[in-house]
Every structure is written in C-alpha cells, then in structure tokens.
Structure 1
C-alpha cells in the first residue's frame, strides 16, 4: 500500500505529469517528436531531485571511459575497494544523461557502491545499435579502469531503469553468450521493457530502431527475453509498480525467467507508478531502493556496514 505521503504526492504531481505526457504520441516529424519528448522529461526531472543530496566521498563528472563516451562515477565514503554498479539510464534511448540521473548515482554510491553512469549516445541521431555498443564498451572498460576509482572488478552488478533495464539485461546476456565474459555477478531491472514487440507500436520504437524496426523488435539485443536460455543470465532482480504501464512487460519476463530456470526475485509494489524509484519524495522509492540494496549486498557478498 502507498503511504499517505505518497498518495498526496501523486495527487499533486499526477495532473502535471499527465499534462506533460498528453501529446507525447502525437506523431509529427522525428526531429519534432524527439524535441518534444526531451522537453517533457526535462520538465519531469524537477520531481526527481530533492534539496538534500545523498553524501558521497567524490563525484567525478564526464570521465572519458571510451573514445566515444563519458560517464559520471560516484565513490562511497570509506577506504574500499567497493562493489560496483554500472547503471543504464532510461528515457526510451532518446533522452536523459548522467546529470538528469544524478540522484540515482548518488543514492547508489551513498549505499556503498562505486556507481558508473555512462552517457551513451541517443537516438534518433544515433539509432540502434549505438546505445548497445556503448554499454558493451562501458562494461568492458570496468575490468581495467574501475580500480582507479576504488571499485572492485570482482564484485560488479549491472542495472537499468525503464528502457535501460532491457538494455542492461541485453548487455549482460550478450557478454555471456558471445564472449564468455562473466564479470557481472547479477543484473537488476527497475520498471523494465524486456520485450519490445509486445508493446504498442509508436514513433519511439522507430526513433530507436530505424528502418528495420519490425525485424529488430525480435533481436535479443533489443528484447532480451527472445530465445533466452538459463546460462545467459546471472541472478536477477525485477521490480515494478502495480500502477506502472510497463508492469505487464516485467511480469511476462518473469515468466520467461521461470521457464528457463534463471534465478530471480520479483517485487511488485502496490500503487507505484513508472520510475517510482527515481522520486525521492516517495516512501515507496525508499522501499524499492532498500529491496535493491538488500539483493545487491547478498549477491555481491557486501556487508551492510559499508553504508555510511
């Protein structure tokens, strides 16, 4: 159940969010669509921050981790080495950057994890597979580069929210399936999109996938549940809100994990809407993050005392 605080927040903010999203799927030119979408998420960002930022030891902005991309890296308080989270931000592969996801980066680092938030290339200027390729490169960089930032390359987890959740699963699956790379001990998705073919058709898919959209919807780099086998994924965490429009996608993916025998946890938070974990004003946001931190500490063998 949502708390009174959460119900009041949604009552106040919900109409504003609905007004911003009202014309999201009104199709014009691709450039106009993208501009409108980016303006919408920028307006929503004001609800996803708070005056008091979580405390961390250091935040390094714009670190050049590959020739193509930079990342923000946040380091917890303490000596380390610390377990590592690589986070794939959401916003339909069209918007968002490390600055707009700053609160998530700081929340993860405050809890005791070196956190890497890459600034991967966005569509429609850089359609698929640009974002996928950038996140593969970021994952490979961690093995050699994260030690400089007090991270332990032997204790790493990859996460993502919304569209980024599906990409996080696609990345870890591809690394295991085609390269034998098993660096990530676990993968976690918040309010994810794991089967794009099961979702309503829209210009958002066209912007990301380009002219071959119908073919690519069934590509495991886009829909990681396609052709999934047990050995392709490490232990998984799925969280979603019962009030999230993407909730059915998460539940269907959980059924795929069950059929293939992948070890996973599924948590559905009653009343929570899409991206609830990103709203620090919500009590349910803390519950979602606490669930994630508990899972991460278990799979990474991280004692709770690392949190400061």
Structure 2
C-alpha cells in the first residue's frame, strides 16, 4: 500500500469517526431538548421490543395525565413477578408515561412487571396533587397487579427527578398511602434517580410553580418526614448533576441512616441529571451500571406485611 493510499484511508477513517461523534452528540442534545419521547424511539430502534408487551393501559383519575401503562414479557413461570412502578420527571410541569416504554423494555426482561404512571401537571398539578396521584397509582397497582402477573407484596417504586420526589415523599409522609387504605409497610422499596428531597427555599421556576403557594414550604420536603420503619431506599445521582445537586441524595441518606432506615447511595462519576435516565435505554444500558444497581436492589426487597384489600 502506498503512502498516498494510507493517508487517504486515514483521512476517510478520521472523517467517519468525526461524523459518528457529531451524530452521537447531536442525538444526546436531541434527547435533552425533546426528552423521553426521543429516548424511547432511540431505544426501540437500537434494542428492539425485547419481547416486551404492553399488557394494559388504565386511568386512575379523570385527568388526562392520570394514566398508567403496564408492561411485561410472556410469562415463563406461574410465580408472580416483582413489580416496578415508575414515575417520570419533568419539573412537575411536563412528561407523559407513554414516552417511557424504554423503562418497560429495560426491566420486564429482568423478570419484572413494569408500571409507568403519570400525575397531574402544572397548572392543575399544584402540591399536593402529585402526591395524591402517586398514591392513587400505587393503590391501583396494589389492587390490580396480581391479575397481570405481579406480586403485590413486591412493589418497588422508582422515579426520576420530580418523579423521584413523588415516590419518596409519598412513602415518607404516611398520610398519602393511608388515603388509599394502605399501611406504611405496603411498599417493598423505593429508588430515586436524581431526586430533589431537600430543596427549600425554592430557587427554580418549576419548584416555585408547584410549591410556591404553600404557606410553610418546609412541609413539602421529604427530608422533613424521615422516619424509622420507612421502606429501604436506593438513591442514585450523577456527580455532574447541576439541575438537582447530589447533596439531595447525600442529605436524605444521612437522615434515613440516622433514623435506622436502610439507605444506599450510588453517585456515578461523570453523569449529569439526564445521564442517569439515559442509562436505562439502549444502547447505553449495557454499558453503564444504573440498570444493574436498580435490578439488584429491587430483587432483594419485599414488603413486610401481607397485602390488604383497598378500603373504599
């Protein structure tokens, strides 16, 4: 091969690599701008269906966002499967569970029945609407998941960003589950991805919009409701997150530990606010530890009391 030919090949390879890098960067920018809908399409293209089926779509309230989707693979055993109930982020003013099919395709092949749920958003979704709706989604899941192949005693809640706030607050402040006729031990565990748990005084527009009307802002903060006997928690955060600072996970974990409640924190080097969510979609999920950490946690926890019939 001549020197000229080698140089031409190096130039072509370099150009192709530059184009590939540019496309990858453009894709990540598109995900950040357009959110989960783009990420869901990328996952479907890159990873396929993974033999995951949408089993059911349901409403748990009259609002357009009070909806949920249920995913699973074809049953290979008569044993009920553990359940992952996931709530989306979006600053309490955006998000659609229909855009989170990639969550189903991530966890259903790992042996879970997966529920992705929505909740009322701003301006209708002022505090405490998001907690009322989270509790309703939990109540629906407890009442219906057995007929869909799930184990109502092995429900793990998970959420990203605003959704992480919702799931953590809904189990720490016991009034929300109580309104659905559920006891404090109804949930097996909770996973928070990049969640805000100690963010008063409110400095962002999204927080002010959702919580600014509350006379005592401290009463909206999950960290103020830490208690002994709360479900075990796994708190995940990227160390480069500037939207919701990692100190939120550190602070909540410290308070939970002090109260005698199991809390595990994972801080991922180089990841930002979006990266922890992107890590659950193909082609990234096989290259990052987020899914593995969540699956290992969710497989080991179980509610400490038998499921009770919903009251009312």
Give the TM-score, by structure 1 length. Answer: 0.77
1:228 counterpart residue number: 226
CA positional deviation for 1:177: 8.5
SS at match of 1:87: strand
SS at match of 1:63: strand
Contact 1:103-1:278 within 8 A present in 2 as well: no
SS at match of 1:184: coil
Residue 185 in structure 1 maps to residue 210 in structure 2: no
| Structure 1 CA distance for aligned equivalents of residues 110 and 101 of structure 2 | 14
Closer, same or farther in 2 for the Cα pair 1:228/1:181, shift >3 Å? Answer: closer
CA positional deviation for 1:64: 2.5
2:159 counterpart residue number: 160
CA positional deviation for 1:56: 3.9
1:272 counterpart residue number: 271
Count of matched residue pairs? 267
Q: 1:58 aligns with which of 43, 53, 59?
A: 53
| Structure 1 CA distance for aligned equivalents of residues 175 and 212 of structure 2 | 27
1:296 counterpart residue number: 298
Point out where structure 2 has 5 or more consecutive residues left out of the alignment: 1-20, 304-312
Contact 1:276-1:282 within 8 A present in 2 as well: no
Residue 96 in structure 1 maps to residue 98 in structure 2: no
1:253 counterpart residue number: 252
CA positional deviation for 1:188: 0.9
Point out where structure 1 has 5 or more consecutive residues left out of the alignment: 1-7, 21-39, 302-308
| Structure 2 CA distance for aligned equivalents of residues 201 and 239 of structure 1 | 22
Residue 12 in structure 1 maps to residue 12 in structure 2: no
Contact 2:119-2:134 within 8 A present in 1 as well: yes
Give the TM-score, by structure 2 length. Answer: 0.76
CA positional deviation for 1:206: 2.3
Residue 197 in structure 1 maps to residue 196 in structure 2: no
| Structure 2 CA distance for aligned equivalents of residues 284 and 114 of structure 1 | 20
| Structure 2 CA distance for aligned equivalents of residues 114 and 267 of structure 1 | 24
CA positional deviation for 1:192: 0.9
CA positional deviation for 1:84: 0.9
**Cα RMSD between the aligned structures?**
2.8
CA positional deviation for 1:175: 3.8
SS at match of 1:268: strand
CA positional deviation for 1:269: 0.9
Residues 38-73 of structure 1 deviation map (CA, whole Å, 9 limit, x = unaligned): xx4x35642453212342442035312445522110
Contact 1:238-1:267 within 8 A present in 2 as well: yes
| Structure 1 CA distance for aligned equivalents of residues 61 and 142 of structure 2 | 13
Larger Cα-atom Rg: 2
| Structure 2 CA distance for aligned equivalents of residues 119 and 177 of structure 1 | 16
SS at match of 2:164: helix
| Structure 2 CA distance for aligned equivalents of residues 283 and 83 of structure 1 | 20
| Structure 1 CA distance for aligned equivalents of residues 54 and 177 of structure 2 | 33
Closer, same or farther in 2 for the Cα pair 1:170/1:44, shift >3 Å? Answer: closer
Contact 2:126-2:211 within 8 A present in 1 as well: yes
